[in-house]
Structure 1
Amino acid sequence: MHYRISSSNPSSRTIEIEFFLTGVSSPTVELQLPAWRPGRYELQNFAKNIQRFEIFDQNGNPLSFEKITKDRWRVQTEGASELVARYTYYSNTVNAGTSFADDRLLYINPVNLCLYADDRLHEPCTLELVIPDTWEIACGLKPTAPNLLSATDFYELVDCPLIASPELQHAEYKVGETAFHIWINGAIRPDWERIKRDFQRFSEVQVQLFGEFPEKDYHFLTLILTTPFYHGVEHRNSTMLVLGPNDEGEGLYTDLLGVSSHELFHAWNVIRIRPAELLPYDFTKENYFTTCFVAEGVTTYYGDVMLRRSNVFDDAAYLKELQVLLKRHFEANGRAFQSLTESSWDLWLDGYDKGVPNRKVSVYNKGATVALILDLHIRRKRNHARSLDDVMRLMWERFGKPFIGYTLDDYRAVAEEVAGEPLDWYFDRCIFGNEPLESLLNEYLAFVGLSLESDAADQGSAPAVFLVQIDGSEGLEDRFRWLTNQR
């Protein structure tokens, strides 16, 4: 499968795609456009952005086709050995999961706009960009010729976004044998020495936790906007980040660190340590699963912890981020009806919308909160000799490294193995239940000299919460090994 992508009139916000399918031998071929993208578990129906759609044989003769679902076409091949689909894709939105073109940028998430045939998913793919020779390309895919990228199969292709521009800025650092690339596009002057130092620090502690990095290289692809924005999406050997505004202040830099550390942790957790229901991805429909509290909650928890362990954050900076996390859960949906497993399942329904009040919880915020509880429970029981680190290492060794997919029961079994005891209370209260968690959380926060306090709430509203240090806590520095040392 070969794709040629261009934008001859970028002011129209249209991207032109030619899809070449060779080796055709059947009387009909069905072409599918993905209905959703990895990293956001909701149907996005990318086919709604297609303006013009035509199909030809290798000689340029039009072929008959019909649309048989909202994003699937059946083509009558009429003996053709090759098909060429030509279509335009409209995109006027920039976030970490879209595609966009203007006169100085071609930004592509291939999952938005690349067709495929079901029986060809595991065949090699090539992606050709029609861009000026002076433009540079930032992407996790390997270049095989100027402006030509190759993927081992469709799954790799659609898990590798790209930025092409004459204004890309680039820096590189290494951790072991792995090369890490930082790409920035936008009106900003990066402090590269600071960025490389801090990125190398948090990358090193993440690699140390798992003992190895899954890929030979990794790319932080960053678009900086003039307006406030914060979004990141994980990919196989890259992440797509969209941030703003481009004021070059500490707020922007803190956002860059936070989202980058979070997304890098995904290189293990969900890219490789993946729920069995998502392996392989079925791009035609919902892929329901109940463990997004592991995929996103544990990752959210570790994203900031890794910044503290690497000394990119000090204690105060970390505790500030932890307070933000806890406020987001307890003030927004601490009394919500659904459990984490129910809200994970319902991501496909309304997980990314505000939705009905007090119905669902955030798999990110509550998921990170209960990851903190589990980590502190294991550390308290084992005096820091074991921790959630051991859980994630075993998940990597047993499921991520062999890439076989895990179930909720698998995660529970590993957690109980590390804890050295049944964890019925934890899963019943934190994962399957919907009870408020303030008192349980405070039981474990006290172990590290912290407390979650709240003010008096107005009738019908949630109380505001505040994370405070307990006065006179003994051995606080020793207890803070939770933040400063890996297990």
Structure 2
Amino acid sequence: MKRFLALSVLAALSPSAFADVNYSLEITQPEHHLGNVSVAFPQTAQAHLDVKLPAWRTGRYEILNLANGVRFFQAKDDEGKALNWEKINASTWRVHLDEPTDVQIDYQVYANELGKRARHIDDSHAFIDASGFFMFSESFRQEPVTVTLDVPKAWRSVSGMDNAGSKHSFKAADYDVLVDSPIETGLNEHHTFKVGGRDYELVIWGEGNYDVDLMLKDLKKLVTTGNVIWDDYPYERYVFMVHATSGAGGATEHLNSTIIQRPRDRFGSREDYLAFISTAAHEFIHTWNVKAYRPEGLVPYDYTNMNFDKLLWIAEGSTSYFEDHLMVRSGISTTDEFFKSLTKTVNRHLLTPGRDVQSATETSFDKWINQGGDHARNYSTNIYLEGSLISMALDIDLLENSQGKQSYRDVHRALYNLHKLPQGFSVDNVKAILKDLTGRDYSTWWAANVDSPAKIDFDILLNKVGLVLERPKGAKTLASVDAMAKNSGELLTLTHVRRGGAAWQAGLTTADKIVAINKKHVGKDLKASLETFKAGDKVTVDFIRRDALKSTTLTLTEDFDKAKKIVVNKEATEQQMALFKAWMGVDHPNLVK
């Protein structure tokens, strides 16, 4: 009797101590993207149990309002009797309890958001990110969970989680592991391989022009590169999930898996394939950077609110920076392909007026609320682009000042060794690592390049590693209005007007429809319509705004038919070539016969 009372008291104080949280998903009407979810919570003596569906999912710093797909919510006690409940905010259901009881929650989920990589069900598969399907309670968040799927007989289910007794059931240590371990179930292609004593899987849903043998060959190369930066691997098993889709694209990192989506016909060409495999490299790096260590504003995840932090440029931008390095070091891509990729990044930066307005610190903190479109391009930047280039600038600075002995890789190695989860890292932690590595205080550098809009001189920076940013020979000058347009039938509609440029100063803006330049009709191509002019010419532009014909004058500026490219400096010194080798891990192209 005493033991029973003691257990009862302990259960009341710690209601989640003795049982798992059990989830089940039944695919009921796949053609209508519907499934039924049941959640069994252990006994609790609380006055009420709040159950929540995340408002966003990890890897996408944006409120997605995932609760909008929930219908037919019900709550029952351990005898199957209905419990009273009320919805208290956008993502929280409060279940009222009169006495200690187990609680079962049932509801329907509408899952037709493939591109968000949170939930999707159709007649060929289901992609299950727990954020979009499975409610949780803070009271039981740390408890073990199981997931059981009721799916068509021919379907295969794959996840980074371990199986729990059957091929369609899985188990995880807690809800945080569940939410970071998506499940791909359906009619899919499945491959396994082993590298370095670790197990890997490649599962592909959808038909496309991909070459599975090439994918497997390069993934085997990629997964050997972890020790280029870190001392060990944070997993024993890793799953690459690939969707060959009818349009959705993107990717998301998870604890020991990733989901990569590409249009089904965007795998075949070398350019498309490199885009795929570099995405795989990006998500692979995230297994350390974000999933093993991450900024303190993301620790622990608050699934129902924005998780602000000033270091998202390290979480995402540094990951983007390292992906090309692993591709080159593993032999998946060539140095020429790397130069082409880096050229695109640099030119995007130079053509983004927002780079002079918003710092990496600001764009990191504002990632949750940043706009898209023309205003963003003119007044903002993004964590991927700026973070990548700031990472490069810091990397080359470290290499140059240490004669190639210290690099940005050492910073991330230290972040992994010193700030593994469950703790996060701060700005001061990163600065401390930099000082410990170099003996130098990076506060002034940080203020100039991270807390302020970065002013990167690419001519000086690239020269240090034996490269040059130059205009291709034979490039021709063009007249420009400093704007971009798309054909919208008979007229061209402005889609981007560069802040401070010719069109901007003349008062033109996005959505204006260009009718004529100097009273001559503008055709389907804005550049072609400007071929008879030269920089410095003053022209009259007729355009339609709010269905009314208007006119303005502007002075054309100079542009070129070919953008600048990063190429090898044929006169690179031994010191520059040595720094290139320390930077990229391969010989400078001048030394390659």
Instruction: Give the shorter-chain TM-score range.
Output: over 0.9
Who is 1:256 aligned against? Answer: 276
90-99 vs 441-450, greater mean Cα deviation: 90-99
SS at match of 1:350: coil
Q: CA deviation at 1:333?
A: 4.2
Who is 1:62 aligned against? Answer: 82
**Equivalent-residue separation in structure 2 for 1:273 and 1:144 (angstroms):** 28
Q: CA deviation at 1:132?
A: 2.5
**Equivalent-residue separation in structure 2 for 1:478 and 1:47 (angstroms):** 55
**Equivalent-residue separation in structure 2 for 1:96 and 1:442 (angstroms):** 39
**Equivalent-residue separation in structure 2 for 1:169 and 1:336 (angstroms):** 47
Of the three residues 294, 312, 318, the one matched with 2:338 is 318
Q: Judging changes above 3 Å, is the alpha-carbon distance between structure 1 residues 48 and 332 closer, same or farther for their aligned structure 2 residues?
A: same
Instruction: Confirm or deny: 8 A CA contact 1:126 1:148 kept in the other structure.
Output: yes
Structural mapping, 1:258-407, within 5 Å = 258-333=278-353, 335-350=355-370, 355-400=375-420, 403-407=422-426
Task: Let me know the Cα RMSD of the aligned residues.
Answer: 2.3
Who is 1:237 aligned against? Answer: 256
Who is 2:177 aligned against? Answer: 156
Cα-to-partner distance string for 1:22-43 (whole Å, 9 max, x where unaligned) = 2122231111111111111122
Q: Judging changes above 3 Å, is the alpha-carbon distance between structure 1 residues 189 and 358 closer, same or farther for their aligned structure 2 residues?
A: closer
Q: CA deviation at 1:355?
A: 5.0
Aligned AA (1:160)? S
Larger CA Rg, structure 1 vs 2 = 2
Who is 2:450 aligned against? Answer: 431
**Equivalent-residue separation in structure 2 for 1:191 and 1:245 (angstroms):** 12
Q: CA deviation at 1:172?
A: 2.5
Who is 2:112 aligned against? Answer: 92
Matched, 1:442 2:542: no
Q: Judging changes above 3 Å, is the alpha-carbon distance between structure 1 residues 239 and 279 closer, same or farther for their aligned structure 2 residues?
A: same
SS at match of 1:116: coil
Who is 1:220 aligned against? Answer: 240
Cα-to-partner distance string for 1:124-148 (whole Å, 9 max, x where unaligned) = 1111111123321111011112211
Q: CA deviation at 1:399?
A: 0.9
**Equivalent-residue separation in structure 2 for 1:479 and 1:158 (angstroms):** 42
383-392 vs 48-57, greater mean Cα deviation: 48-57
Greater relative contact order (Cα < 8 A, sep 6+): 1
Who is 1:203 aligned against? Answer: 223
Instruction: Confirm or deny: 8 A CA contact 1:448 1:480 kept in the other structure.
Output: yes
Q: Judging changes above 3 Å, is the alpha-carbon distance between structure 1 residues 381 and 289 closer, same or farther for their aligned structure 2 residues?
A: same
Q: Judging changes above 3 Å, is the alpha-carbon distance between structure 1 residues 162 and 354 closer, same or farther for their aligned structure 2 residues?
A: farther
Who is 1:452 aligned against? Answer: 469
Q: CA deviation at 1:78?
A: 3.3
Aligned AA (1:478)? A
Instruction: Confirm or deny: 8 A CA contact 1:296 1:363 kept in the other structure.
Output: yes
SS at match of 1:324: helix
**Equivalent-residue separation in structure 2 for 1:353 and 1:7 (angstroms):** 38
Identity of aligned residues (%): 25
Aligned AA (2:565)? F
Of the three residues 31, 39, 42, the one matched with 2:59 is 39
**Equivalent-residue separation in structure 2 for 1:396 and 1:101 (angstroms):** 36
SS at match of 2:453: coil
Q: Judging changes above 3 Å, is the alpha-carbon distance between structure 1 residues 154 and 353 closer, same or farther for their aligned structure 2 residues?
A: farther
Instruction: Confirm or deny: 8 A CA contact 1:96 1:232 kept in the other structure.
Output: no
Q: CA deviation at 1:351?
A: 6.0
Number of residues of Structure 1 aligned to a counterpart in Structure 2: 481
Aligned AA (2:568)? Q
Instruction: Confirm or deny: 8 A CA contact 1:100 1:107 kept in the other structure.
Output: yes
Cα-to-partner distance string for 1:307-362 (whole Å, 9 max, x where unaligned) = 00111111111111111222222212453412111111111212667654432211
Instruction: Confirm or deny: 8 A CA contact 2:57 2:118 kept in the other structure.
Output: no
Instruction: Confirm or deny: 8 A CA contact 1:243 1:252 kept in the other structure.
Output: no
Matched, 1:177 2:278: no
SS at match of 2:109: strand
**Equivalent-residue separation in structure 2 for 1:128 and 1:173 (angstroms):** 26
Instruction: Confirm or deny: 8 A CA contact 1:244 1:252 kept in the other structure.
Output: no
Instruction: Confirm or deny: 8 A CA contact 1:183 1:221 kept in the other structure.
Output: yes
Q: Judging changes above 3 Å, is the alpha-carbon distance between structure 1 residues 177 and 403 closer, same or farther for their aligned structure 2 residues?
A: farther
Q: Under a length normalisation based on structure 2, what TM-score does the superposition of the two structures give?
A: 0.77
Cα-to-partner distance string for 1:168-222 (whole Å, 9 max, x where unaligned) = 2222333322212111111137534322221122211223421210011111111
113-122 vs 238-247, greater mean Cα deviation: 238-247
Who is 2:584 aligned against? Answer: 483
Q: Under a length normalisation based on structure 1, what TM-score does the superposition of the two structures give?
A: 0.93
Q: Judging changes above 3 Å, is the alpha-carbon distance between structure 1 residues 205 and 470 closer, same or farther for their aligned structure 2 residues?
A: same
**Equivalent-residue separation in structure 1 for 2:374 and 2:239 (angstroms):** 32
Aligned AA (1:149)? F
Who is 1:122 aligned against? Answer: 142
Aligned AA (1:444)? L
Aligned AA (1:29)? L
Instruction: Confirm or deny: 8 A CA contact 1:18 1:85 kept in the other structure.
Output: yes
Aligned AA (2:388)? A
Who is 1:419 aligned against? Answer: 438
Q: Judging changes above 3 Å, is the alpha-carbon distance between structure 1 residues 385 and 485 closer, same or farther for their aligned structure 2 residues?
A: farther
Q: Judging changes above 3 Å, is the alpha-carbon distance between structure 1 residues 352 and 394 closer, same or farther for their aligned structure 2 residues?
A: farther
13-22 vs 73-82, greater mean Cα deviation: 73-82
Q: CA deviation at 1:96?
A: 5.3
Q: CA deviation at 1:296?
A: 0.6
**Equivalent-residue separation in structure 2 for 1:354 and 1:293 (angstroms):** 21
SS at match of 2:28: coil
Who is 2:70 aligned against? Answer: 50
**Equivalent-residue separation in structure 2 for 1:428 and 1:155 (angstroms):** 35
Aligned AA (1:447)? K
SS at match of 2:139: helix
SS at match of 2:112: coil
Unpaired runs of 5+ residues, structure 2, are: 1-20, 472-476, 483-499, 503-558, 588-593
347-356 vs 325-334, greater mean Cα deviation: 347-356
**Equivalent-residue separation in structure 2 for 1:53 and 1:295 (angstroms):** 37
Q: CA deviation at 1:21?
A: 1.2
Aligned AA (1:184)? I
**Equivalent-residue separation in structure 1 for 2:130 and 2:321 (angstroms):** 29
